[in-house]
Chains A and B, each alone.
Chain A
Amino acid sequence: MTDDEQSSELDVDRPALADQRGVDTVYGASEDSHLLAEAAVEGAKEGERALDIGTGSGYVAGALAEAGVDVVGTDLNPAACRQVHEAGISAVRANLLDPIRADAVDLVVFNPPYLPTDPETEWGDWMQAALSGGEDGRAVVDPFLADVGRVLQDDGRAFLLVSSLTGIDDVTEFAGEQGLNSSIVAEESFPFERLVVLRLTVE
């Protein structure tokens, strides 16, 4: 098999949603980013310290910075880190909250990869890392929920974007098991999914 044949096969296997959203090496701001940015800015106070996990294009981090929030963007993808750093926002290459101290921030925002993906059609590049949430869509959300309470200060809040494709009730139930209260603070419906922003606080 030639390289060309391989790459055309990969294109065919890409999930339709990824195609609709445009495929590049850094996930661009989309409807979900706008919804999350709006909710996060509304829930933040000037001068607070925030983390934008999986910052991608830096859209949400940029909105927070504009609102006077002291924000750091993290991403697994080095190209995303460079893009955010060039926009004048502090960037850290990190896996979720692994290198973040306990009680370090007032605010955590996260637009996670949440699309449930058939393991047979995983396509193995940075776009997959940005979009795919594994078979149940929660492969990244669950470890995040298990750790986010640790990094939040006493009155801290996390804003998490969740899709109906991931199962909103499943996410809030798992959050509850991790000692987190959750409430829906923003939502928007699309033809194939409903997006919500969950506000999470430590019980």
Chain B
Amino acid sequence: MQEELLDIICCPLDKQDLELDVAEREDGDIVAGTLTCSECGEAYPIEDGIPNLLPPDMREDAPA
């Protein structure tokens, strides 16, 4: 993901700001890291360049 994405995304639970913690960057693209809600503290993973902003109770709830 690009850092500018922070302009449009927020915590899905309380709509508050997300703080970005970059673990791996490749040509300006954030490949791995964590987005943490500044209010409720919920952490959302960035994997393979894709932030997973599903609420925690939906994260594992994947159809077969």
Contacts and interface: CB of A to CB of B under 8 A. Distances in A.
Contact of A94 (B2, B7, B53, B63): B53
Contacts of A81: 50
Interface of A: 49, 51, 72, 76, 78, 81-82, 85, 90-95, 98-102, 104-105, 124-126, 128-129
A81 B1 CA distance: 12
B32 interface: no
A95 B1 contact: no
Interface residues of B, number: 22
Nearest to B59: A93
Interface string B9-25: 11110010000000000
B50 A82 contact: yes
B38 interface: no
A64 B7 CA distance: 19
B2 to A, nearest CB: 6
Contacts of A91: 1, 49-50
Contact of A92 (B5, B15, B62, B64): B5
A72 B48 CA distance: 16
Interface of B: 1-2, 5, 7-12, 15, 48-55, 58, 62-64
A95 B58 contact: yes
Nearest to A93: B52
A96 to B, nearest CB: 9
A44 to B, nearest CB: 16
A101 B15 contact: yes
Nearest to A105: B8
B8 A72 contact: yes
A40 B7 CA distance: 22
A12 B32 CA distance: 41
7 contacts: A82-B50, A90-B2, A92-B9, A93-B52, A95-B55, A99-B9, A99-B10
Contact of B11 (A49, A99, A126): A99
Given A85-B48, A125-B63, A126-B63, A92 B2 contact: no
A99 B5 CA distance: 11
B50 A85 contact: yes
A91 B12 CA distance: 16
